[in-house]
Chain A
Amino acid sequence: DSGVTQTPKHLITATGQRVTLRCSPRSGDLSVYWYQQSLDQGLQFLIQYYNGEERAKGNILERFSAQQFPDLHSELNLSSLELGDSALYFCASSIGLAVQETQYFGPGTRLLVL
């Protein structure tokens, strides 16, 4: 158990819909990362937050957005969903900002868009 929790575990929705994925980082960790894992794209970094502020962006679509709240939990919002958004979405957390810090991954949310 990494200490990172993600809800829900599974999500099935329809094209055009909007969903929210939630992540609670390990106690004491200030950084939260979001990743998308799909068969064709592999594991892709989406976005990083540190202590409530966005710090780095990766291959995140404009239809996707995220935020980190004062209690440090984070939400990833996916809107106008397309079939290709079906994937496993991971949240990871680390103590600080540095890329060399260990990232602790949650179990993921599996999203299926029908």
Chain B
Amino acid sequence: AQSVTQPDIHITVSEGASLELRCNYSYGATPYLFWYVQSPGQGLQLLLKYFSGDTLVQGIKGFEAEFKRSQSSFNLRKPSVHWSDAAEYFCAVGAPFGNEKLTFGTGTRLTIIP
């Protein structure tokens, strides 16, 4: 079965600074990988996803993520954060084969300070 780990429970970043949120997965092959964002009081919204091909994927709101097979990682990055990026971020993994559905990480809460 697949699993996903987000090692950082909470990250604080200054507005305008760069951001990297970590995600590590466990799966026997290359899984489908996703990043979702949950703003306070809202449902989750897809930021980006990776299936195959170019290992650097661009998403909405200026986010990007890089798939690194050797490190089983799919870290989310943004060069310059805005106060509106304060939210909870979830990494998720899905298996290309079989009937397993998305497995979500425990989330990383991002706080932005002025």
Contacts and interface: CB of A to CB of B under 8 A. Distances in A.
The size class of the interface chain B forms with chain A is 20 to 34
Interface string B40-51: 011111100101
A69 to B, nearest CB: 21
12 contacts: A42-B104, A42-B105, A44-B104, A45-B102, A48-B101, A90-B44, A99-B96, A100-B51, A102-B46, A104-B46, A105-B43, A105-B45
A108 interface: yes
Interface of A: 2, 4, 33, 42-45, 48, 55-56, 58, 90, 92, 99-100, 102-108
**Cβ-closest 4 pairs across A and B:** A105-B43, A99-B94, A43-B104, A105-B44
A2 B51 contact: no
Q: Helix, strand, loop or mixed for chain B's interface?
A: loop
B102 A103 contact: yes
B42 to A, nearest CB: 6
Contact of B101 (A2, A45, A105): A45
Interface string B89-114: 01000111001111111110000000
